[in-house]
A and B are shown apart, each in its own frame.
Chain A
Amino acid sequence: MDFVIGIGNTLRCDDGIGARLIASLSEVPNVAGIAVHQLTPEIALRLCDAGRVLFVDAHSFAQRIALARIAPAEDPDITGHVLSPATLLGLTQLLCGHAPQGWLLSVPGYEFGFGEELSARARAHLPVAIAIAEKWMRSAAVMEGGMD
């Protein structure tokens, strides 16, 4: 089983782009989509038997949509119950003896204030991000890189 995990808060404008992407994905056999507010340790145990995982998150510093491989963090830096994608993979490795191959799809975000709507610019990125995610879902080998 592969997973696509959309991260973010739909009440904070562009932060909700990960959840919106999950809601818009086509169904692909053997791939599960999950929308989460934050990455928490419970998700590690769901990934024990996963082959691949794609994290989708809005990033305020990103200039363009980018897809990149991520490895389990060897030196995680956390202070609470919220994990980064790499740290979550590291925890999965520790608890399951195995971590799925990880990718991070970064989507530029511009507005993170209160609101349930995406900004116009983030909304324009959404179809592109969905296309990349669906290509990833259907292919075991996805090229890394970005798209404008």
Chain B
Amino acid sequence: MKREIKIDPVTRIEGHAKITIQLDDAGNVADARFHVTELRGFEAFCVGRTLWEMPSLTARICGICPISHILASAKAGDAILAVRVPETAVLLRRVMNLGQIVQSHALSFFYLSAPDLLLGWDSDPATRNVIGLGAKDPDLTRRGIRLRAYGQQVIERLGGKRIHPAWAVPGGVNQPLSAENRRWLQEHLPAALDTIRFTLDLFKRSFVNDEMRGALGEFPSLYMGLVAPDGTWEHYAGGLRIIDGAGNILADHVDPTHYQDVVGEASEAWSYLKFPYYRALGYPDGMYRVGPLGRVNVCDRFGTPLADAELEEFRGRGAPSGRIIDYHYARLIEILASLERIERLLKDERILGTRIRAEAGINALEGIGVHEAPRGTLFHHYQVDENGVMRTVNLIVSTGQNNLAMNRTVRDIAAAYIKDGKLSEGILNRVEGGIRAFDPCLSCSVHAVGNMPIALELIGPDGTVVDRAVRD
């Protein structure tokens, strides 16, 4: 008898999703799917709005990574204005994006995933959260919270507020950095660096082993991310690099505005999330991964000493890494790299410049803004009329690009742990943990209140629920 298991909603991720696991007659996994169940519709309702509204409008896609959308939107706007953004504004945008990477990665690791790692996959779900982490290791928890707060301070001290600052605009930014705010960020940076080095040591000591490697599985795929002209890790500019599971470069320094030459978009009836793929290999064989693991796999170096030392150690275990657990490892290395870069950028006196915005009218009818959001490469593609009113809007978000890989991850973990139809909460949590490693952001701008229960159902071929377990 075929049965289906549902995990709905998936917990400790940003947004709303469910997982269904199809069992065969013997009770083993036949297939599994990760469904995104919320519809946002930004691409549709932004049509008719002006270019100048787009950074603020698209920032509302997400409460965790609004900066990513503000920056991608502003860059698309730069192209439509056909201006050269002042160098101070570029430096400030870079610092802002690095601060965003720090705060988002810290949230993902310390608040959402560290409870699984430090408390155990099979620990009591009632305490498997940041509170349980605080009870188990208050020092690490304090450090993690302060690290995220530092990233938020970068955003607030540049943009005026932590969430949805109307700061980056087509042509530059609308507020310079004060000497006082630069001093504050410089003074507090050493503590943040100390925390991430401490956490990386803890992670390598405790979780880089065969047991953890097996917990979430591994599989080869393609990887994509921006790199600088010399192959260095890049987050704001540069070109797209795509490598295969053996590390061979399939495409390099692709102008990101030509993304449609390499990225295709598919859709499935059972999910609102797109399924981007590498066009040369077709759908679904062109599955690729973006985000921390994608970027760490594709770059030649970080270009900062501490992160480069970590990269060498990371690659000592085999590169490129297809291990799902290594999303966390790569995330921590990227926090370190981001802090080193923030330190370097803040030392540059040009950062205090006041020429921060190029003003112009509509000089092109199409613009594409691309940069690396915490979860991966983000594309904003706009077409406007002569007045700068949006005619088409295409957004390819980072999480979507991991969609195929997340489905593969769910299927692999479910197949490894579910035998003869036997289930446990710990298995359920491992399946969710595989998704959490990608840190999917399914849009969290809606203020949700209340519990997010997790329900697991076994459904018979006639649609009746034959078994049900609920955690609420």
Expressed in whole angstroms, the Cα–Cα distance for A44 and B112 within the complex equals 17
* A28: chain B residues within 8 A (beta carbon): none
* A90: chain B residues within 8 A (beta carbon): 131
Q: Let me know if A87 and B131 touch, CB within 8 A.
A: yes
Name B145's contact: one of A8, A11, A44 (CB within 8 Å).
Answer: A44
Residue of B nearest to A84 (CB): B449
Question: Which residues 93-142 of A have a CB within 8 angstroms of B?
Answer: 94-95
Q: Let me know if A91 and B63 touch, CB within 8 A.
A: no
Name A9's contact: one of B111, B112, B149, B447 (CB within 8 Å).
Answer: B447
Q: Let me know if B111 and A37 touch, CB within 8 A.
A: no
Name A41's contact: one of B135, B138, B145 (CB within 8 Å).
Answer: B145
Question: Which residues 127-150 of B have a CB within 8 angstroms of A?
Answer: 129-131, 134-135, 138, 141-142, 145-146, 148-149
Expressed in whole angstroms, the Cα–Cα distance for A75 and B129 within the complex equals 12
Residue of B nearest to A9 (CB): B447
Name A45's contact: one of B130, B146, B163 (CB within 8 Å).
Answer: B146
Question: Which residues 59-106 of A have a CB within 8 angstroms of B?
Answer: 75-82, 87, 90-91, 94-95
Question: Which residues 1-58 of B have a CB within 8 angstroms of A?
Answer: 11-14
Q: Let me know if A94 and B134 touch, CB within 8 A.
A: yes
Q: Let me know if A95 and B141 touch, CB within 8 A.
A: yes
Expressed in whole angstroms, the Cα–Cα distance for A81 and B63 within the complex equals 12
Known: A80-B111, A95-B134. A75 touches B126 (CB 8 A): yes
Contact with A along B355-377 (1 / 0, CB 8 A): 00000000000000000000000
Q: Let me know if B447 and A42 touch, CB within 8 A.
A: no
Residue of A nearest to B447 (CB): A9
* A82: chain B residues within 8 A (beta carbon): 448
Q: Let me know if A81 and B130 touch, CB within 8 A.
A: yes
Question: Which residues 56-80 of B have a CB within 8 angstroms of A?
Answer: 60, 63
Contact with B along A46-63 (1 / 0, CB 8 A): 000000000000000000
Tell yes or no: B97 within 8 A of A by CB.
Answer: no
Q: Let me know if B130 and A78 touch, CB within 8 A.
A: yes
Q: Let me know if B149 and A42 touch, CB within 8 A.
A: yes
* A11: chain B residues within 8 A (beta carbon): 60
Expressed in whole angstroms, the Cα–Cα distance for A95 and B63 within the complex equals 25
Question: Which residues 422-472 of B have a CB within 8 angstroms of A?
Answer: 446-448, 451-452, 454
Tell yes or no: B88 within 8 A of A by CB.
Answer: no
Name B112's contact: one of A8, A76, A81, A95 (CB within 8 Å).
Answer: A81
Expressed in whole angstroms, the Cα–Cα distance for A45 and B134 within the complex equals 12
Q: Let me know if B451 and A77 touch, CB within 8 A.
A: yes
Expressed in whole angstroms, the Cα–Cα distance for A91 and B132 within the complex equals 9
Tell yes or no: B152 within 8 A of A by CB.
Answer: yes
**B residues near A, CB below 8 A?**
11-14, 60, 63, 107, 111-112, 126, 129-131, 134-135, 138, 141-142, 145-146, 148-149, 152, 163, 446-448, 451-452, 454
Supply 9 further A-B pairs (C-beta < 8 A) apart from A8-B447, A15-B447, A95-B134. Answer: A37-B163, A41-B141, A76-B131, A77-B126, A78-B129, A78-B131, A94-B131, A95-B138, A95-B142
Nearest 8 pairs of A and B residues by beta carbon: A94-B134, A79-B11, A9-B447, A81-B111, A76-B131, A42-B149, A79-B452, A78-B129
